[in-house]
Amino acid sequence: MGEIIAQELGVFTEIQGGSVTSPRGFKGGGLHCGLKRKRLDLGWIFSEVPASAAGVYTTNLFQAAPLIVTQESVAKENKVQAILVNSGNANACTGDQGMENARTMQSQFAEVLGITPHYVAVTSTGVIGEQLPIEKIIKGINQIDASIGQPGNFEQAILTTDTTEKQIAVKVIIDGKEVIIGGAAKGSGMIHPNMATMLGFITTDAAVTAEALSMALKATTNQTFNMITVDGDTSTNDMVLALANGLAENSPLTPEHKDWQVFLDGFSYVSRELAKMIARDGEGATKLIEVEAIGCPDKETATAISKTIVGSSLVKTAVFGSDANWGRIICAVGYSGKKLDPSKISANIGPITVVENGLPYPFSEEEAKAYLDNEVIKISVNLNQGLESAVAWGCDLTYDYVRINASYRT
């Protein structure tokens, strides 16, 4: 499971080199089946036993075939034992043939594993509107040996325009027993709150009821994966799946369990760190932007304001250029659609106050530029109208974003 990092993070500990296969009973890997020219393009996760399962899915009305198949499968028993992911082709907007291909992926992998087909979740990511070369995928499936894990290969196989793998795991103590929560994700472009072009996979060896797991996933997603944006586009294929196989042998977790909050804190940390990795790896990005809205009258206002600021193209380009153009921040607050009193608002770029009581506050442009040259930029806005707050994450908007997306299909 990797070496434990020395410092404790509250009630949990992050595992150095931890991943989605760190929890007991999970294996995973990836291989090249020919959807991409050279890179790995078919990834898999397998649990030794069927696991409680929960999922959240894109809000885009054009849902890709594999999402439909996976949602149907999870709904049967709230159980999943294996996940199959291909990159390089989204199998979206592909009609009846796309549905047939998604079901073929599912049935073929189930046959190789010797499990019930609806225990297999399938998902795809890549170019929209092209039929899957299903024969290549079938050939790849037949090469999978689920008894052999391939550390890191799953994380590589699910990438599209990502520049780095995204993985994490933490250890918590439940009922006096060590419980591991692991995760992996992909996402770089078409990232926007309310799911994005992203896939997330969270695994745990904790025993958790399916209902409680779904509750934890939905609540956590609203504060993590739904609080990131790269470019304002919401995709057709996004999902986050959570699996809990129970091999830690704790008493089943529900909100009434004495250690429920301990589990939820670890689960939330894994989700939040994966979400931040996605935001930081935005296409062409050079900086991670964290926006906190505080002093808000309600959570909805705080969420809307933080998302609006981090999603503003003008804010994002100003951060890229290390320009302390606070007017763009205030402008975004103003068009967030939320009721507020402009005369009470204050704003900071990092430690530097730029607005106080709705008016410009004297600051050093040189100091502000020096701060904005960092790789992690924090912006805070205080409405001074309540006690609620929210944090959202995004990235700067660069020349490379245009270059990457201008030639995505070519």
* DSSP codes, 209-264: -HHHHHHHHHHHHHHTGGGB-SSS---SS-EEEEEE--TT-PPPB-TTSTTHHHHH
Helix, strand or coil, per DSSP, at residue 273: helix
Contact 191, 198 (CB under 8 A): yes
Q: Which segments of 32-129 are extended strands (E)? A: 42-57, 79-89, 120-127
What distance in Å separates the CA atoms of residue 134 and residue 104, rounded to the nearest whole number? Answer: 8
Q: Which residues are catalytic?
A: 197
What distance in Å separates the CA atoms of residue 241 and residue 43, rounded to the nearest whole number? Answer: 15
What distance in Å separates the CA atoms of residue 238 and residue 57, rounded to the nearest whole number? Answer: 6
What distance in Å separates the CA atoms of residue 26 and residue 21, rounded to the nearest whole number? Answer: 5
What distance in Å separates the CA atoms of residue 167 and residue 273, rounded to the nearest whole number? Answer: 9
For residue 239, which of 196, 300, 205 has the smallest C-alpha distance?
Answer: 196
Residue type, 39: R
Contact 169, 270 (CB under 8 A): yes
Farthest CA pair distance, the chain: 68
Helix, strand or coil, per DSSP, at residue 382: strand
